[in-house]
């Protein structure tokens, strides 16, 4: 079997297709913390459709007690993968592995922050159960 022509989208559409089809969440918020980009992966993890999330504050998914830590962590932990707490549309607590980055314009001015993440809730709960089990084992 031969293909009649290979898939060759223009660069703009290729980037858009990758972001939209990624299973990981891809979120971008401007400097005011307002969500400007929310892909299908974010919809699956957090339960909000893009139409519900775009235009809203990041407070939508970040528990109040973690908002300051997230804001200060963006510069300190830029590029590192961190497991952090979040919550979904139904109020359930999640643990999400996120890598953060600052997006800069051509002059180097920060225009916002992006996060790429995946649900780590099951892994986190297994690790907690394993630690608790190890602590209760007789020596």
Q: How far is residue 58 from each of residues 31, 68, 120, 124, measured CA to CA in Å?
A: 11, 12, 19, 23
Q: Which residue has the higher pLDDT, 76 or 138?
A: 138
* 10 vs 78: which has the higher pLDDT: 10
- Partners of residue 101 on adjacent β-strands: 114
For residue 118, the model assigns a pLDDT of 94
What is the CB neighbour count within 10 angstroms for residue 113?
21
pLDDT at 1: 38
Of residues 39 and 82, more confidently modeled: 39
Share of the chain above pLDDT 70, in %: 77
Residue range 45-57: mean pLDDT, rounded: 96
Task: Name the strands in the sheet holding 25-30, side by side, starting at the edge strand that comes first in the sequence.
Answer: 35-38, 25-30, 110-119, 93-104, 81-87
pLDDT score at 87: 87
Q: Which of 105, 75, 86 is nearest to 27 (CA)?
A: 86
Rounded CA gap, 124 and 80, in Å?
Answer: 18
* pLDDT tens-digit readout, 98-109: 888 888 999 999
Return d(Cα 63, Cα 86) in angstroms, integer: 6
pLDDT at residue number 2: 41
pLDDT of residue 135: 72
Domain 24-136: which CATH number of 3.40.50.720, 3.30.450.20, 3.30.465.10, 3.30.70.1400 = 3.30.450.20
Confidence band for 138, pLDDT divided at 50, 70 and 90: low
């Amino acid at each position: 079997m031969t293909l009649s022509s290979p898939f060759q989208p223009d660069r703009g559409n290729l980037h858009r297709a990758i972001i939209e089809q990624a299973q990981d969440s891809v979120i971008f918020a401007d400097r005011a913390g307002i969500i400007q980009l929310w892909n299908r992966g974010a919809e699956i993890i957090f339960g909000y459709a893009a139409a519900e999330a775009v235009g809203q504050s990041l407070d939508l998914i970040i528990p109040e007690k973690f908002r300051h830590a997230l804001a200060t962590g963006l510069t300190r932990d830029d590029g590192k993968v961190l497991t952090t707490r979040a919550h979904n549309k139904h109020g359930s607590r999640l643990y999400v592995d996120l890598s953060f980055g600052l997006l800069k314009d051509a002059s180097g001015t920060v225009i916002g922050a992006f996060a790429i993440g995946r649900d780590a809730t099951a892994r986190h709960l297994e690790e907690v159960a394993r630690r608790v089990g190890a602590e209760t084992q007789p020596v």
